[in-house]
Amino acid sequence: MNTTTLPVLLSNEELADLHKEIGRPSLMGNTIAKLQAELEQYMALPMDVPGHGEAGGYEHNKHKQNYQYINLAGRLFLITKDERYAEYAGKLLAMYADKYLTFDFHIQRNTNPPGRLFHQILNEHMWLMYASLGYSCISAWLSQAQRSHIVERLFKPMLEMFTEKYGHDFDRIHNHGIWAVAAVGICGIAIGERRYLEISVFGHNGDGETGGFLAQISKLFAPSGYYMEGPYYHRFAIRPLAVFAEVLHRHMPELDIYNYKDQVIKQTTQALLATAYPNGLFPALNDASKTMAITDMGVVVAVSMYFKRYGFDKNLLGMAQIQNQVWMHPCGQALSEACDAEATIDPPFWPSVELNEGPDGTCGAQGFLRMQAKDKDICQLSMNYGQHGMDHGHFDTLGIAFYNRGQEVLREYGFARWVNVEPKFGGRYLDENKSYARQTINHNSVTVDEGCQNQFDIKRADSVHGKPHFFMGEGTELQAMSAFADEHYPGMGMQRTVMMLKSDMLESPLLIDLYRLTSEKPHQYDYSHQYQGQIIRTDFEYKTNTELHPLGDNYGYQHLWSLARGEAGSNALISWLQGNSYYTWLGTSSSADNEVIFTQTGANDPQFNLRYENSFILRTTGKDLLFASALETHGYFNEAVEASVNARGKLHQIKVLAHSETGSVVAIEGEGIRFTVMVSNQPNVTDTTEHRIIINDKTYSWKGFLAVEQETK
């Protein structure tokens, strides 16, 4: 028989506190009001528990909404004391209990086993976690008969399916695995069957090593907390992780889960948050959508949990402002109160951080530099010099992304997929994800011989990684990071050093990029940048094509229309307008022979699956070669008020003075200003290493990783 249980995540005292927030203009008050309005709106629709349907179709959406509202209705019943909500959740659960075992299993479509409600049990795990949480809120309100019906005909069959029928899958270490254990563990508590909690935490073997939550959180993340598939997948795993952590904090206090394994939960949550752009969007590293943000439900839970369990950080307050809600839970209430206590809350400005990769942190890293401009605008520069990211990995080691003035400037494309848009291949990954989105040329990187890193061989790519050279993330005037990738093209050495440099002469930190290639054989090198907006001017002649052809026939090139080409000579200036800001890029290489190619996506796209995006490529040939470039952010344009200021910028030339195994020396010149940038190319450099390069009787010498000299006239 099924006894009454208590709400899994809420005590009576906590509920009383939450009840007081109703109607208040706090973040929590607003959250309650918003969720209550959404629930009321949903309750006004006819109730429906549909049968099988297309992935992303009505049925899928309905089941998804149903579990969300069972969960919400349960919690809002306890917070508002409105019994209509308990009745609604109970009725919907009973409808599922009536029908669940009458539904057959779906046909298996991918490696994820099928459920009775969804094509993938992943979704069924999500269903169970939320429905269980909702159930636990109304369990005491339901009659014994109602409880029995739901537990016997719905929850127990689900638990059996997950732990027995698909038992082999339950212990797999995988981001989906966190959903499985959280769902099973939480449902176990909700129905008073603690053995399910035990296997969820320690795995079927009970050792905490081969399966279960403890094994998952110990093995899925690097020591830095980074998740190798990138933020898009990380934020999906963080939801059950944060929820289940809070559950274990309450139901297995002996685990001391928040301090488990040197606070791995703190570490991985912080690592995720630290990747986000200042506007809350996640950089679309690897397969990812361009719009995934910290407003995602899981990150809302994680930010509230992190604040409550790991203490005050003003960046969390900044994030809560962007989220414009908190987790409707005591954790969220703590954050809401902290926000209330501040007179002003700035946007989040996380410190620069190098997030190592690999089980012991030795498989490279993801670097994130952040610097504020004079006007407080936050610039963010990221570089991938870590692992490949398995099946969702993009072949873009040493690729960078750059953000400032509220927008991504050197851009990621993200995945080629229209998620949940059923007429677009069922919302699944499109062929163009492989043929374009994941290719090297679709990144802010260098493509060698029109190929792809690791020849698009995932296994090979997973076996290598970037090598950190140096990381200087502390400065307010100069920050830099440098890394090698010597195993990504056969016989090629690659080193990229990127930095942000603040100068009184410039409006915004200057992005400087030195990309060095070494090889014994000659190659074609394509240095590419993905930009968005309108070309404003160049300092070289180019010719637009009167008919368009794809730029190549493989490795993503087949999807690029070659729009225009021009000989860039020793220096190429390309300036464009994106949103309200102008950008001027100066690029060159150590070769005298540089060509610029302007491209647009869309070639060989028979179903219009790609988005239209633009790039420019600086193409040259050579053996050992240095690409040097600088990106100046300047001016302001506002079409609506017809204002344009400083459309031209200050800088006009960049020169490679030298590059060798010792170091690279580059000069950047503009109106009344000259920067000399000296970077160490020695793998074992320390901050005391002396460097000396003599060019035309002029000696450039510096100590440590790099030096920048600024002369003003």
Which residues contact a copy of itself by CB under 8 A?
56, 61, 289-293, 295-296, 418-424, 427, 534-537, 543-544, 546-550, 561, 563-564, 575, 577, 598, 600, 602-608, 611-612, 637, 639-645, 647-648
Whole-number minimum distance, CB 374 to a copy of itself, in Å?
A: 14
Q: Which of 553, 578, 581, 570 is nearest to 656 (CA)?
A: 570
Least distance in Å: CB of 385 to a copy of itself? 29
Q: Report the residue number, 439 or 614, with the smaller CB distance to a copy of itself.
A: 614
Q: Spell out where 411-466 has E strands.
A: 446-448
Instruction: Provide the minimum distance between the beta carbon of 208 and a copy of itself in the complex, in angstroms, as a whole number.
Output: 33
Rounded to whole angstroms, what are the CA distances from 150 to 94, 132, 147, 154, 293?
6, 10, 5, 5, 35
In the structure encoding, which two tokens stand for residue 297, read together? 């439900």
Residues 185 and 154: beta-carbon distance below 8 Å: no
Q: Which is nearer to a copy of itself, 175 or 575 (CB)?
A: 575
Nearest to a copy of itself of 213, 413 (CB atom): 413
Report how far residue 397's alpha carbon sits from residue 487's, in angstroms, rounded to the nearest whole number.
10
- Measured from the CB atom, the residue of 28 and 574 that comes closer to a copy of itself is 574
**Nearer of residues 5 and 575 to a copy of itself, judged by Cβ:** 575
Q: Which is nearer to a copy of itself, 21 or 412 (CB)?
A: 412
Output DSSP code: residue 151.
Answer: I
Q: Minimum distance from CB of 337 to a copy of itself (Å)?
A: 24
Report d(CA 152, CA 157) in Å as an integer. 7
Q: What is the closest distance, in whole angstroms, from the C-beta atom of residue 242 to a copy of itself in the complex?
A: 18
CA terminus-to-terminus distance, the chain: 86
Cβ pair 501, 373 in contact under 8 A:
no
- Cβ count within 10 A of residue 505: 15
The residue among 653, 361, 650, 664 whose CA lies nearest residue 495 is: 664
| Closest to 250 measured CA to CA, from 78, 13, 18 | 13
Q: Minimal distance in Å, beta carbon 606 to a copy of itself?
A: 5
Q: In the complex with a copy of itself, which residue's Cβ is closer, 218 or 604?
A: 604
Q: How many angstroms separate the CA atoms of 240 and 178, rounded?
A: 6
- CA dist 572 and 619 (Å) reads 11
CB of 536 to a copy of itself, least distance (A): 5
Distance in Å, CB of 544 to a copy of itself, minimum: 5
Distance of closest approach, residue 535 Cβ to a copy of itself, in angstroms: 4
Q: Under a CB-based contact definition with an 8 Å cutoff, are residues 473 and 705 in contact?
A: no
**Shortest distance in whole angstroms from residue 546 CB to a copy of itself:** 7
Task: Enumerate the H helices of 104-172 as residue ranges.
Answer: 121-138, 144-150, 156-160, 167-170
Other Cβ atoms within 10 Å of 256 Cβ, number: 10
Question: In a 3-state reduction of DSSP, which class is residue 285?
Answer: coil
Nearer to a copy of itself, 242 or 514 (CB): 242
Residues in the chain: 713
The residue (of 292 and 317) whose beta carbon lies closer to a copy of itself is 292
Mutual angle of helices 175-190 and 231-251, in 10-degree steps: 30
CB nearer to a copy of itself: give 460 or 611.
611
